[in-house]
Chain A
Amino acid sequence: AQSVAQPEDQVNVAEGNPLTVKCTYSVSGNPYLFWYVQYPNRGLQFLLKYITGDNLVKGSYGFEAEFNKSQTSFHLKKPSALVSDSALYFCAVRDPQFTGGGNKLTFGTGTQLKVEL
């Protein structure tokens, strides 16, 4: 079974400071990992993904994430936060060894990011 955990319900950070949103996963094989962002009353927007290759993945809006296999983590980071980054962030995992159900993404519970002036 695949699972993903986002240990923080909310992260507060001052504008201009670096931000980190944490994600850990559990799969039987090498994971496919994704980050999505949800603004109020909107659908999810894709930020970045790790499938294979370089552990540091760069995505939209200046976000990046580092795949750490030993710690089974895929934390989302940004060097300098903006007020407009305030939103709900979801980590998701897909176990490529799970062949029985197509593209079955499992989402974390979400982390609300609040960036203040």
Chain B
Amino acid sequence: DTAVSQTPKYLVTQMGNDKSIKCEQNLGHDTMYWYKQDSKKFLKIMFSYNNKELIINETVPNRFSPKSPDKAHLNLHINSLELGDSAVYFCASSQDGLGRTEAFFGQGTRLTVV
């Protein structure tokens, strides 16, 4: 029974397209995140939601828009995709939003923009 699941696992698309990545957690956690891992494996937080409320919004282009319909789901929509958006995007969740509990990560979505 997968704890944090994201779909799709692979996404290949052309520049200029709009795409979405979905994430669901069945752990009952209050906080969810989106991280981006670049080609050098560097991980950086993009967004965080706590009980459907946006609490972290890093310096991310406006083309990226997270949406949390409920606390078990956090989706990522990307408009007008660019080559530089190619990366692996990880969804994660944790019990609290204060940093004391570990995050559980999904398996990642490898986005390739051509």
Q: With A44-B90, A44-B105 in contact, do A96 and B44 touch (Cβ < 8 Å)? A: no
Q: Contact at B103–A46, with CB atoms within 8 Å?
A: yes
Q: Contact at A103–B96, with CB atoms within 8 Å?
A: yes
Which chain B positions have C-beta within 8 A of A101?
48, 55-56
Give how many B residues have a beta carbon under 8 Å from the other chain's beta carbons.
28
Q: Contact at A103–B94, with CB atoms within 8 Å?
A: yes
Tell me which of A32, A43, A103 contacts B90 (CB under 8 A): A43
B45-99 contacts to A, CB under 8 A, are 45, 48, 50, 55-56, 90, 92, 94, 96-99
Q: Contact at A49–B102, with CB atoms within 8 Å?
A: yes
Q: Contact at B99–A94, with CB atoms within 8 Å?
A: yes
Q: Contact at B105–A45, with CB atoms within 8 Å?
A: yes
> What would be 13 A-B contacts, judged by CB atoms less than 8 Å apart?
A32-B99, A43-B4, A43-B108, A45-B105, A88-B41, A96-B99, A102-B97, A103-B31, A103-B97, A104-B56, A104-B99, A110-B41, A110-B42
Residues of A within 8 A of B (CB): 32, 34, 36, 38, 41-46, 49, 51, 88, 90, 94, 96, 101-105, 107, 109-110
